[in-house]
Amino acid sequence: MPEKLSYPKESAGSHLLSRVPTVAPETTAGETKRLVLDPGAKWDEMTYVYVTDAQKKLLGVFSLRELFAARDVEKAETLMQKNLVVAHPYTDQEHVAMRAIAHHIQALPVVDKSGVFLGIVGVDAILRTLHEEHTEDFLRSAGILKTRVVTDIFNARFGQLFRQRVPWLFFGLLGAMGATLLVRSFEHVLMRELSLAFFMPLIVYMAAAIGVQTQTLYVRSLVLGSSSVKKLFPRELGMGLAIGLCCAGPLFLFALVAFQSFTLAWIVGTALILTMFSGVAVALVITTVLMQTKKDPALGGGPFATIVQDILSIIIYFAVATAVLFGFS
């Protein structure tokens, strides 16, 4: 039998236990009981007894409960279950665990292509696999991919993380400086309507917030394979427009009541719709680009998408303000 370490890491063969009770079909229950209870046997696991022929091919299996409930004269061939649920040494460990759960068995026998019994995947390995896969699925559902794209923050070296994170943040810093100059270029608009400055953080925040939502949902959908990109894009763009309209109404009323200005209320309401829509679009495009270029969206998506969206939001906000204040004067 090949060594356990020769099998792939997450395969049935990597969890193989070979020291388990095996008997021939003609072995009696009394003989099997003595075999099972032999203190010198040192079984890897003792949950089932496996029946094999002279060529070591698996014929059947019965539990210890069935064994000790049987009369000593009964033979293994009369006790065994012939409808076998088995795995092969290269079967993925998750499939092994799910097969065991589906058939309500605590250990799964492993056979080669010829049906020769190699050993079992025991209950400890099954439970450990279920735990690992459940944890992995949870992380995936949160958008944390278990692929080369994602940075392992727990095991990566300090210098490695520093080199991976700083460029994105440095780009964000440069972008923020550019945004500052951009706001200054609209000084004439602010001089015309100073109250616009009060709403700028709100406009920028709402666009960034909906962008983060979209990015998280997008990455999670890609990982789970629950939606195609062709379906996701129009749906999320429509969602951005709908949410923008929903939020613009209360903001319009707030600006109208608080500042007694229909013009200001119209500017901030219209700008909010457009910036929230653009926030969704930017998140979709940037996440797609990062995924296709094998960049970690957890490192690049936040700083890159945020500064791009911030700059775009400022441009949209003041473009709307300029059109309303100067275009129709």
Q: What is the mean pLDDT of the chain?
A: 83
Give the residue, 49 or 183, on which the prediction is more confident: 49
DSSP element (H, E) containing 176: helix 158-185
The predicted pLDDT at position 227 comes to 54
For residue 219, the SS3 value is: helix
Domains detected in the chain: 4-141 (3.10.580.10), 176-325 (1.10.357.20)
Residue 142 pLDDT grade (very low, low, confident, very high; cuts 50, 70, 90): very low
Q: Is the pLDDT of residue 152 over 70?
A: no
Structure tokens at 88: 């092969």
pLDDT of residue 229: 65
- Interatomic CA distance for residues 310 and 171, integer angstroms: 13
Report the pLDDT value the prediction gives residue 293, as an integer from 0 to 100: 72
Q: What is the pLDDT of residues 223-238, one digit of tens each?
A: 555 556 677 788 889 9
3-state DSSP assignment of residue 316: helix
Across 42-46, average pLDDT: 91
* Residue 239 pLDDT greater than 50, yes or no: yes
Q: Give the model's pLDDT for residue 327.
A: 74
pLDDT at 158 (0 to 100): 76
pTM greater than 0.75 (yes/no): no
User: How many beta carbons lie within 10 A of that of residue 220, not counting itself?
Assistant: 17
- For 264, residues 6+ apart whose C-beta sits below 8 A from its C-beta are 193, 195, 196, 199, 255, 256
Backbone angles phi, psi at 187, to 5 degrees: -60, -35
Check residue 104 and give its pLDDT: 85
